[in-house]
Structure 1
Amino acid sequence: MSELTKAPRSERSFFGQPRSLVTLFSLELWERFSYYGMSAILLYYLYDHTSAGGLGLSKPTASALVSIYGSLVFMSGVLGGWLADRLLGMRRAVMLGGLLIMCGHLALAVPGGLPALLVSMLLIVCGTGLLKPNVSSLVGELYSADDRRRDAGFSLFYMGINLGAFLAPYLVGTVGQQVDYHLGFALAAVGMAAGLVGYARGRSRLGRAGEEPTNPLRDGERPQVVRRACVGGALVAAAVVVCAATGSLSVDVLINAVTVCAVLLPAVYLVTMLRSPRTDAVERSRLIAYIPLFIGAVCYWVVNEQTSSVLAQFADTRTDLDILGFAVPASWFQSLNPIATLVLAPVFAWLWIRMGDRQPTTPRKFATGLLLGGASFVLMAGPGLLNGVDVPASPWWLVASYFVVICGSMCLSPVGLSATTKLAPRAFLAQMMSLWFLASAAAGGINAQLVQLYRAETEIGYFAGVGAAVMAVGGVMHLLTPWVQRRMGGVR
């Protein structure tokens, strides 16, 4: 980290971390509140009857749409990272992204049916692409490359993410399911607005971190970028027109197209960085070491990203919602993920600091996370095996599954954020963080196909099969650990 980008060292600490972490912690808390608040009710809004305020889609189609929505959100990080690196700088990209997200939630707050949903998707996808990778990269800029607080700092930042996600289902979910879906979406917009106000007031704490692009466009490059943008936009528009004219413009075509793009885009992105003349030999070796970590992250997120689709549907249709005589809204179960994270994040942050140089290497942590993530899905085959798929399942199955998957997340997600900033070529700092979020995009694209297979008659095989496959990848990661570690160029 250069002298021009690091935050002031004379400031007070925040749990032993730079005080400037508070500003980014708060912004990400409210951004995740808005996003997960929307996600908590989106599936139900899509498949609920029109008489109840929903759109009346089929459950498989609704689940697939939720998956591609998430995939598009994470894919947009590629453009957001590029804009930050070449044009805006990370700090301005974060502010613009937050404004677009807020407008997207306001579009959903309008009872405009499918058109309002599409406008909202466009705004939230673009806004999250600008904000999400760049706020995480800003966290990395608060530390020097050899600062041992780095993993712990990302764990605390990850706790802020999940604090927002914890609050959202209880507030947005309750208002959306029990009062009106559109009021719930409006509450999500209020949350994003609160995050923007806090970020605007606290930006001075960041010093000059993220103020300027790390790889700004040269004057001669601007016309070429404009031409490429125009050509790309024209090709997309032409594809839409052709599909509409031939009658092939449908939800299924959209789902399949997003799946293909989500899987191919990270591969193209990695090759581009590997072949770039701005990537030196050591950085190239680190990128090669990053490939198996990335594949492992995709497999883990295949499980974790189904909380807003398959597990949300399981909570709504297969779970006994009468708890101690109180009818619990199905959306509340999506708070189990952040609850487990809030409990476990400080424990793991303390553990990594306590272990110091004795802590497992990054590939070992990834392998453990994959084994636990897969086990959480294998566990969900239990209710069907023991009692059949026609008997409402105890809510404790979901509680146990979420706890196990978050133990895996603590070994993979904050560690992956930290590893991404450490292994990133300097010329591609923000774009490398975009690549990390493409793991979730690829998982969303794969899930868009997988979730359509989930129904009562396939429940047992679905959970057991997907879970076992992810555990198998974890086993392979353990075997590959020495190879990966040798190519990380001294990064542990």
Structure 2
Amino acid sequence: MLESKKQEIVASVPQTGFFGHPKGLFTLFFTEFWERFSYYGMRAILVFYMYYEVTKGGLGIDQSLALSIMSIYGSLVYMSGIIGGWLADRIFGTSRAVFYGGILIMLGHIVLAVPGSVPMFFISMVLIVLGTGLLKPNVSSIVGEIYSPEDNRRDAGFSIFYMGINLGGFLAPLVVGTIGMQYNFHLGFALAAVGMFLGLTVFVTTKKGNLGLAGTLVTNPMAPEQKKKGYTLILVAAIVVIILLVIAITTGLLTFKRFISLVGILGVLIPTLYFIVMYNSSKTTATERSRIIAYIPLFIAAVMFWAIEEQGSTILANYADQRTQLDFAGIHISPAWFQSLNPLFIICFAPVFAWIWVKLGNRQPTIPTKFAIGLFLAGLSFLVILLPAYFGGSQSLVNPLWLVLSYFIVVIGELCLSPVGLSATTKLAPAAFSAQTMSLWFLSNAAAQALNAQIVKFYTPETEMQYFGVIGVAALVLSFILFMLSRKIQGFMKGIR
């Protein structure tokens, strides 16, 4: 995006009106609030829906396989951001991508809300995966567009936006999780569909007055003749993929285990190819190439961080369901409620971190240092959760406060890494790949969950200490390496802090 165009977009957005931030942050805050309510509500009960017996309203899938499917689903959700970023950059812009994505997500939750079978479950997953790929990276890109690159409010704005994400994520497991676990899974999924509808309503009704030109510019548009060829290629590719999938499934060539392995390979291969293409593009300047080099170690650190954090919806969800004392302080705790801990702590502490970064100004830690701190805390959170088995064995039920402490530690790490990563991505992105670089950021989560799909199979109550210990120590070692390299990485950023 040319510098003059960036300035034109910023000038079109009212620069005050939402807690001292651009008015457009209101629209994006509440759009993402309802989208996350929808997503996290569904996710709070999805793994239980998969492995609970049919007599309990579930699908009766093997528990170990359900945990792997959950990780693969999460990986594909973020991997599909490639498609959303490319379509936004080349064809219809980020604003339309957000709208189309919301429609697909809502339809996916509607399909889940209809009592059906395993095939219906996978149809809903396809819709939600594609919809989230269109919406999530592009709504974050629009946040970056409403601020000028020099605006000191930028990191604080992303922290506020991140708090909106987690406000939706906090309420969803309490509402959708309670309804889904205590009454009916499908009724819970229906509430998730309502949440996405409300998000779409906020976006459509307020974007004109609040966002100005933000999200409307196609940064790297295809020529008209290229569009026709592009649409044809996409259609042919989709048909070929569908035919190959049908053949592979019906002949038994594509099994769950092979599919999980395939996604694991793609989780590493796709971001690698992305870095290569952006670095070698003729549209990437020398300064932008240097910033891409700086982005690589940050990406690797993010993969390790998300590999730990995202196990909150798989291993720790299973831990809450089967290893935790759920009758505590005179109340019965639903295992889905633990999914609210992560966003609850972010809601409480995101404003604190936003204030700290603004207060420190140019004296705040560099981006690589913040990443190193976040990764260190993620590793520590896994070392904490192995202590109950060390003190009490792997057979006794665990006090729920251990889970609370583990979630708390990883959340403090997340606040050092995730909103900072979003902001850093918008600043380090090559101009011709702005939305696609945001998709690349979300690929760090995709790669992490693809990795998780392989490693969650090693978790059992008997291997609990080794499982948490090995992963936790690996994160601590990587955080130390990143901290030692932070000055070198900062140099490659060419003035970006």
TM-score of the alignment, normalized to the shorter chain, above 0.5:
yes
Contact 1:7–1:209, Cα closer than 8 Å, also in 2: no
What one-letter code is carried by the residue in structure 2 that aligns with 1:98? G
What one-letter code is carried by the residue in structure 2 that aligns with 1:279? T
Deviation, 1:325, is 2.0
Contact 1:371–1:408, Cα closer than 8 Å, also in 2: yes
Task: Quote the residue 2:96 is aligned against.
Answer: 92
Distance in 1, Cα, partners of 2:11 & 2:348: 29
Deviation, 1:362, is 0.2
Please say which of residues 197-206 and 131-140 is displaced more in the overlay.
197-206
What one-letter code is carried by the residue in structure 2 that aligns with 1:429? S
Select the residue among 70, 76, 79 that pairs with 1:75: 79
Distance in 1, Cα, partners of 2:453 & 2:236: 28
Contact 1:96–1:127, Cα closer than 8 Å, also in 2: yes
- After superposition, the C-alpha distances for 1:178-222 in whole angstroms (9 at most, x for unaligned) are 000000000000001111111111101101111121111112322
Distance in 2, Cα, partners of 1:122 & 1:30: 20
Task: Quote the residue 1:61 is aligned against.
Answer: 65
> Is structure 2 residue 383 aligned with structure 1 residue 398?
no
Distance in 2, Cα, partners of 1:230 & 1:55: 33
What one-letter code is carried by the residue in structure 1 that aligns with 2:450? G
Contact 2:14–2:24, Cα closer than 8 Å, also in 1: no
Match of 1:457, SS state, is coil
Select the residue among 476, 484, 487 that pairs with 1:479: 484
Task: Quote the residue 1:341 is aligned against.
Answer: 346
TM-score by length of 2: 0.97
Task: Quote the residue 1:42 is aligned against.
Answer: 46
Distance in 2, Cα, partners of 1:162 & 1:38: 14
Task: Quote the residue 1:25 is aligned against.
Answer: 29
> Is structure 2 residue 381 aligned with structure 1 residue 368?
no
Task: Quote the residue 1:283 is aligned against.
Answer: 288
Match of 1:208, SS state, is coil
Distance in 2, Cα, partners of 1:59 & 1:461: 20
Distance in 2, Cα, partners of 1:227 & 1:200: 30
CA pair 348-11 structure 1, distance change in 2 beyond 3 A = closer
How many aligned positions are there? 492
Deviation, 1:247, is 1.8
Match of 1:255, SS state, is helix
Deviation, 1:4, is 3.3
What one-letter code is carried by the residue in structure 1 that aligns with 2:270? L
> Is structure 2 residue 269 aligned with structure 1 residue 264?
yes
Deviation, 1:245, is 5.0
CA pair 86-459 structure 1, distance change in 2 beyond 3 A = same
Please say which of residues 474-483 and 162-171 is displaced more in the overlay.
474-483
> Is structure 2 residue 166 aligned with structure 1 residue 162?
yes
Distance in 2, Cα, partners of 1:7 & 1:93: 22
- After superposition, the C-alpha distances for 1:344-387 in whole angstroms (9 at most, x for unaligned) are 10110000011111000000000000000110011110110000
**Counterparts of residues 193-272 of structure 1 (less than 5 Å):** 193-204=197-208, 205-244=210-249, 246-272=251-277
Deviation, 1:58, is 1.4
Deviation, 1:9, is 5.6
Distance in 2, Cα, partners of 1:78 & 1:9: 27
What one-letter code is carried by the residue in structure 1 that aligns with 2:405? A
Aligned Cα root-mean-square deviation (Å): 1.2
- After superposition, the C-alpha distances for 1:281-326 in whole angstroms (9 at most, x for unaligned) are 1111101110000000000000001111000000000000001221
Distance in 2, Cα, partners of 1:11 & 1:142: 8
Contact 1:279–1:425, Cα closer than 8 Å, also in 2: yes
Task: Quote the residue 2:471 is aligned against.
Answer: 466
Contact 1:7–1:20, Cα closer than 8 Å, also in 2: no
Select the residue among 66, 89, 110 that pairs with 2:114: 110
CA pair 102-230 structure 1, distance change in 2 beyond 3 A = closer
Moved over 6 A (4+): none
Task: Quote the residue 1:451 is aligned against.
Answer: 456
Match of 2:358, SS state, is helix
Distance in 2, Cα, partners of 1:346 & 1:474: 25
Distance in 2, Cα, partners of 1:403 & 1:245: 46
TM-score by length of 1: 0.98
> Is structure 2 residue 223 aligned with structure 1 residue 181?
no
Match of 1:4, SS state, is helix
Select the residue among 434, 441, 444 that pairs with 2:439: 434
Distance in 2, Cα, partners of 1:241 & 1:13: 52
CA pair 184-10 structure 1, distance change in 2 beyond 3 A = closer
Contact 1:67–1:444, Cα closer than 8 Å, also in 2: yes
Deviation, 1:228, is 3.4
Distance in 2, Cα, partners of 1:447 & 1:9: 41
Distance in 2, Cα, partners of 1:184 & 1:263: 34
List gaps (5 residues or longer) in structure 1: none
Match of 1:406, SS state, is helix
Q: Percent identity?
A: 52
> Is structure 2 residue 134 aligned with structure 1 residue 130?
yes
Please say which of residues 451-460 and 239-248 is displaced more in the overlay.
239-248
Task: Quote the residue 1:309 is aligned against.
Answer: 314
Match of 2:457, SS state, is helix
What one-letter code is carried by the residue in structure 1 that aligns with 2:170? F
Task: Quote the residue 2:301 is aligned against.
Answer: 296
What one-letter code is carried by the residue in structure 1 that aligns with 2:201? V
CA pair 27-7 structure 1, distance change in 2 beyond 3 A = farther
Distance in 1, Cα, partners of 2:400 & 2:195: 29
Match of 1:89, SS state, is helix
What one-letter code is carried by the residue in structure 2 that aligns with 1:479? M
What one-letter code is carried by the residue in structure 2 that aligns with 1:380? I
Distance in 2, Cα, partners of 1:120 & 1:276: 36
